[in-house]
Amino acid sequence: MNLQSYSDQDLVKLYLTGNESVLEELLNRHKSKIYTSIYLLVKDQYLAEDIFQDTFIKVINTLRSGRYNEEGKFLPWVMRIAHNLVIDYFRREKRAPVITSADGTDVLNMLQVYEESAEEKILREQTHTDLRTLIQLLPDEQKEVLIMRHYADLSFKEIADLTDVSINTALGRMRYALSNLRKMMKVKEVT
């Protein structure tokens, strides 16, 4: 049977009738996109692999329990599960992701190229720590959009799709996040 010609929905139906082999086709069809979206958010290969595995465990359990009802929307449904698991991870860890460049170095540590004094270095590191702390104080919806936009470099369309809101809502949440950060920085006198 040539499974590549089947739609996702057809493969799900086959899986629900007991054909376990079709799950491999679904996994192979979408693993790159799902894994990449997780990795872009967590910036850690091993953590991304763990969350990817947890995503498919949740998918399998939901399918087996008969609770899957996303008619024709398999990939967005799986992406939403993966996204929720990433958000759960950040909530559990209460940590701000490190902003990294394409070569994997911490961008916050590269901001100043010239030789800085010990005092300047301490001040810069404290400012970055303060900023990360302030980001953690934002409401979850605002923090989520800010992290996805600035740390994971996702477009507002991608953010809207992952969070299941309109683009305008994602833009509004970003605007409020930046406004709230500015207010908190004034109060805390962070420059």
What are the domain boundaries of the chain? 1-98, 108-184
**Position 168 pLDDT exceeds 80:** yes
- What's the average model confidence in pLDDT over 144-171? 83
End-to-end CA distance of the chain: 63
pTM of the model: 0.52
pLDDT at position 109 is 47
Q: What is the pLDDT of residues 80-113, one digit of tens each?
A: 889 889 888 887 776 555 555 556 555 444 443 3
Identical topology for domains 1-98 and 108-184: no
- What's the average model confidence in pLDDT over 164-175? 91
Do 51 and 44 contact (CB within 8 A), yes or no? no
pLDDT at position 36 is 87
- What's the average model confidence in pLDDT over 158-180? 89
CATH number assigned to the domain covering 108-184: 1.10.10.10
d(CA 105, CA 101): 6
Q: What is the pLDDT of residues 33-89, one digit of tens each?
A: 889 888 888 888 999 999 999 999 999 898 888 888 866 688 888 888 898 898 888
- What's the average model confidence in pLDDT over 137-165? 82
pLDDT at position 108 is 45
Average pLDDT, the chain: 80
Looking at the chain, the whole-number percentage of residues with pLDDT higher than 70 is 81
Q: Find out if CATH 2.60.40.290 is the number for domain 1-98.
A: no
- What's the average model confidence in pLDDT over 144-167? 81
User: Residue 82 to residues 34, 56, 98, 155, 166: CA-CA distances in angstroms?
Assistant: 7, 9, 20, 18, 19
| Residue 134 burial (CB count, 10 A) | 19
**Position 129 pLDDT exceeds 60:** yes
d(CA 135, CA 180): 9
pLDDT at position 153 is 67
- What's the average model confidence in pLDDT over 13-38? 88
